[in-house]
Amino acid sequence: MSFVFDKKKPLIIVPVLIKAGNNILNFDFAVDTGASVSLIDIDVMLAIGYKKSDCIRTIDTVTASKMETAFEFKLDNIKAIGLFRRNFKVISRSLPLGLGIDGLLGLNFFKNRELIIDFRASEIRLK
């Protein structure tokens, strides 16, 4: 499966579908090959119906400038670039304002797949 991204933007942004209860919601996530775990902004998690008390555990995470506590959740279903994951673990905390994204797809999303980012063709592919 492949997706064409806008190479004029500073991030590779892809559409993501998350099933929360009976709703399927659309979000924009950045592909982040520097993140080991996928992350969803805490305000997005709360908006789709999760509560902080639903978290599996809290984790201390390292950002570019500080240590920050994140909440670990298990999503029922998430889909991006044609790849569907069930019972998918993500962490959640606030993202910096102004990024224009709802979360980050980290390496755990792409596990056991071949990820190809072709900047000349502005295309991201999964095999």
Write down the pLDDT at residue 68.
Answer: 85
Which DSSP helix (H) or strand (E) runs through 47?
helix 42-47
Topology at the third CATH level for domain 2-126: Cathepsin D, subunit A; domain 1 (2.40.70)
Write down the pLDDT at residue 21.
Answer: 82
Write down the pLDDT at residue 66.
Answer: 76
Write down the pLDDT at residue 118.
Answer: 96
How many Cα atoms sit within 13 Å of 42 on the Cβ side?
17
Residues paired with residue 68 on neighbouring β-strands, in sequence order:
61
Task: For 29-76, write each residue's pLDDT tens digit.
Answer: 999 999 999 999 999 999 888 998 999 999 988 776 778 899 999 999
Write down the pLDDT at residue 62.
Answer: 77
CA distances from 92 to 10, 37, 72, 123 (A): 22, 10, 6, 27
Q: Is 87 helix (H, G, I), strand (E, B) or coil?
A: strand
Helix and strand counts by DSSP (H, E) for the chain: 1, 10
Nearest CA to 102 out of 6, 47, 30 is that of 30
Task: For 15-26, write each residue's pLDDT tens digit.
Answer: 999 998 888 899
Domain ranges of the chain: 2-126
Task: For 3-12, write each residue's pLDDT tens digit.
Answer: 999 999 999 9
Residue 59 and residue 91 in contact, taking contact as beta carbons nearer than 8 Å: yes
* Per-residue confidence band for 14, with pLDDT thresholds at 50, 70 and 90: very high
* Per-residue confidence band for 98, with pLDDT thresholds at 50, 70 and 90: confident
98 or 15: which carries more pLDDT confidence?
15
